[in-house]
C-alpha cells in the first residue's frame, strides 16, 4: 500500500475515486470542505434528496471530466454531533464501499469544522481509512483472494500541511503495528506458537539497535522455579518460554514501563475442557496479550519514543494430554506462593503471575500493565465495547482511561474490593486459581494482584471482549482488532501528564 499526501488539492494525481465528505443538514446536505470544483456535480443528489449525508452514507457519482473517474459522497452526520470516532467510522465505511467496487487508487479530502481540533480530526480520518483497509486472506486460495478482497493500493490524503504530513507518517507507523498484531491473532494456532514469537523477538533485536531480547526456555524456567507456567505448558508439544524484550528510548532515565502479555497460543481449557458452544474454535486468539506486548516494542522502536519499555511475554499452549496439569493438585509459583488448581481453564492468570513475579525481581519496573484475554466474565459485563481495567494506582488508572478516551480504545474501571480475595481461599494451598462465577473478572484480577508488589503501580487490562470480535465493525473488518497498540502508544506519549 502506497500512502501519500498533498497540501493543495490541485496537486493531487488522477485516481479511481475521490472521497468528498458531506455534513447532514435539516434542509439539504453541505459539502464539508472548501473544494469548489465539485459544487455543480453534487447539486442534483443534494436537491433530489437521494443523499442525506447521514453518518457512513455513501453515494457514487460519475463525472464526465476531472482527475477522478468517480466521486464518492461520504456522509458524516450532523456537524455539531460529530466526534473523532464517528469520523473513523464514516471514513471506514467509505473504504468498505470502495473495496466492494475493487477500486485501487483514491484521493481523500478531510472535513473542515471548528468543533474538533485539526490534528485530532486528521488523525481520526487517517485511522479510519487505514484501519479499514486491512484484510487477512493468506489462508485463502488465490482465486478466493482476488474474488473476496480488494485492498486500496494507493491512498492520497489531500490538504495536509507539514504538521499533518508528520501526523500521517506517525499514524501510518502505529497502524502498521496494529495490523502486525491483527495478523498474529488472526493466524492459525499451529503457526503462531512460541517458536514464532521467539523468531520475531530475535528479528526485532537485529533490526532495532535499542531492543535487547532475553529468553527463558524450559530449563531456564525450571531454574527460576516458575512452576505455574511450567504446569500450564506440560502437555504442549512445544516447550513454554518467557520472552523478554527491552526497549531503551531514554538511556538517561531509570523509569521503565513494563507490558506483560498473556501468550496462550491455543486454549483447550486443559482437563477442564471447553465444551461446544463456549468459544473453543476462537481460542487461537488467547495470545492477543502477548501479540500486543511484542507489537508495542515494534511501534515504540519505529516511532523512536523517548521512553523505556520492557515487554514480557508468557507463551505456551494449554493443551490436553497425559502430562496435563491436574485439577485439585497444588503447584508452587515463582514467588513461592502455592496454588490449588480449581480450574485448568483459568490458566492465563497463572502464567501472568509467574511472569510478573520474575519481572519485579529482575527488572525493577516503575509501573506495570498486563494485557490478557483473561475472562468471559468481562464480555458479560462490558460486551465488546470496552476493555476491563483493574488497578492498584489511581494515577496510572486515570492516565490509561484518558488514553482510552482519546483513541476510543475505551477502558472501564472495575473494582478490586478486598472481599474478592475471599473467593480464592484454599484449604490446602495459599490460593486457588479460580473462584465462583460471580465477579469472575474481579476475582481473576485479584488473583494476579497477589503477585504484585504494593509499591509498584499496576494495571490489568482484560481484553477478552475487545481483542477478537464476534461481529465486525466499520474499522475492524476482521475478528482480530489489534486493540491495545493505539491505546498504549497514546499512554506512553502522555507519561508526563
d(CA 355, CA 215): 12
**Rounded-to-integer distance, Cα 34 and Cα 111, Å:** 9
Rounded to the nearest 10 degrees, the angle between the axes of helix 288-303 and helix 194-207 is: 10
Say whether 382 sits in a helix, a strand or coil.
Answer: helix
Q: Are 466 and 436 in contact (CB under 8 A)?
A: no
266 close to 318: Cβ distance less than 8 angstroms: yes
DSSP H helices in 187-247: 194-207, 218-223, 227-232
- Separation between Cα atoms, residue 343 and residue 467, nearest integer Å: 23
Q: Quick check: helix, strand or coil at residue 258?
A: strand
Q: Which residues are annotated as catalytic? A: 274, 349
Using alpha carbons, select from 362, 365, 333, 357 the residue that is nearest to residue 432.
Answer: 333
**If 0-12 CB within 10 Å is exposed, 13-18 middle and 19+ buried, where does residue 174 land?**
buried
Q: What angle do CA 57, 59, 61 make, to 5 degrees?
A: 160
Amino acid at each position: 500500500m502506497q500512502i501519500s499526501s498533498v497540501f493543495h488539492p490541485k496537486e493531487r494525481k488522477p485516481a479511481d475515486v475521490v472521497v468528498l465528505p458531506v455534513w447532514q443538514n435539516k434542509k439539504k446536505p453541505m459539502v464539508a470542505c472548501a473544494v469548489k470544483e465539485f459544487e455543480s456535480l453534487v447539486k442534483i443528489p443534494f436537491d433530489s434528496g437521494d443523499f442525506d449525508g447521514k453518518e457512513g452514507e455513501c453515494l457514487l457519482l460519475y463525472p464526465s471530466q476531472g482527475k477522478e473517474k468517480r466521486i464518492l459522497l461520504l456522509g458524516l452526520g450532523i456537524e455539531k454531533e460529530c466526534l473523532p470516532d464517528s469520523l473513523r467510522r464514516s471514513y471506514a465505511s467509505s473504504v468498505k464501499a470502495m473495496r466492494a467496487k475493487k477500486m485501487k487508487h483514491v484521493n481523500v479530502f478531510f472535513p473542515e469544522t471548528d468543533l474538533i481540533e485539526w490534528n485530532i480530526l486528521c488523525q481520526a480520518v487517517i485511522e479510519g481509512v487505514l484501519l479499514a483497509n486491512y484484510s487477512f486472506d493468506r489462508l485463502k486460495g488465490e482465486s478466493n483472494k482476488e474474488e473476496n478482497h480488494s485492498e486500496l493500493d494507493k491512498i492520497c490524503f489531500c490538504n495536509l500541511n507539514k504538521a499533518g504530513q508528520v501526523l500521517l507518517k506517525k499514524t501510518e507507523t502505529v497502524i502498521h503495528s496494529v495490523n502486525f498484531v491483527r495478523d498474529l491473532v488472526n493466524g492459525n494456532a499451529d503457526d503462531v506458537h512460541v517458536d514464532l514469537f521467539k523468531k520475531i523477538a530475535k528479528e526485532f533485536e537485529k533490526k532495532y539497535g535499542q531492543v535487547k531480547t532475553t529468553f527463558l526456555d524450559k530449563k531456564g524456567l525450571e531454574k527460576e522455579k516458575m512452576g505455574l507456567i511450567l504446569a500450564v505448558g506440560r502437555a504442549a508439544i512445544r516447550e513454554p518460554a518467557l520472552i523478554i524484550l527491552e526497549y531503551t528510548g531514554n538511556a538517561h532515565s531509570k523509569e521503565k514501563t513494563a507490558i506483560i502479555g498473556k501468550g496462550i497460543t491455543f486454549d483447550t481449557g486443559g482437563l477442564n475442557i471447553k465444551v461446544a458452544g463456549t468459544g473453543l474454535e476462537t481460542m487461537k486468539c488467547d495470545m492477543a496479550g502477548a501479540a500486543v506486548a511484542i507489537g508495542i516494542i515494534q511501534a515504540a522502536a519505529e516511532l523512536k519514543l523517548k521512553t523505556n519499555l520492557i515487554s514480557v511475554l508468557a507463551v505456551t499452549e494449554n493443551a490436553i494430554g497425559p502430562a496435563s496439569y491436574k485439577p485439585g493438585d497444588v503447584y508452587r509459583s515463582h514467588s513461592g506462593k502455592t496454588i490449588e488448581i480449581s480450574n485448568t481453564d483459568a490458566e492465563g492468570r497463572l502464567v501472568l503471575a509467574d511472569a510478573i513475579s520474575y519481572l519485579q525481581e529482575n527488572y525493577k519496573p516503575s509501573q506495570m500493565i498486563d494485557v490478557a484475554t483473561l475472562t468471559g466474565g468481562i464480555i458479560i459485563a462490558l460486551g465488546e465495547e470496552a476493555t476491563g481495567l483493574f488497578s492498584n494506582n489511581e494515577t496510572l488508572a486515570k492516565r490509561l482511561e484518558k488514553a482510552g478516551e482519546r483513541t476510543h480504545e475505551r477502558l472501564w474501571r472495575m473494582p478490586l474490593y478486598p472481599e474478592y480475595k475471599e473467593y480464592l481461599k484454599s484449604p490446602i494451598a495459599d490460593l486457588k486459581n479460580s473462584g465462583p462465577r460471580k465477579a469472575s473478572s474481579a476475582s481473576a484480577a485479584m488473583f494476579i494482584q497477589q503477585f504484585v508488589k504494593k509499591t509498584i503501580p499496576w494495571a490489568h487490562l482484560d481484553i477478552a471482549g475487545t481483542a477478537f470480535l464476534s461481529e465486525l465493525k466499520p474499522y475492524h473488518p476482521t475478528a482480530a482488532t489489534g486493540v491495545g497498540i493505539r491505546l498504549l502508544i497514546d499512554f506512553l506519549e502522555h507519561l508526563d501528564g
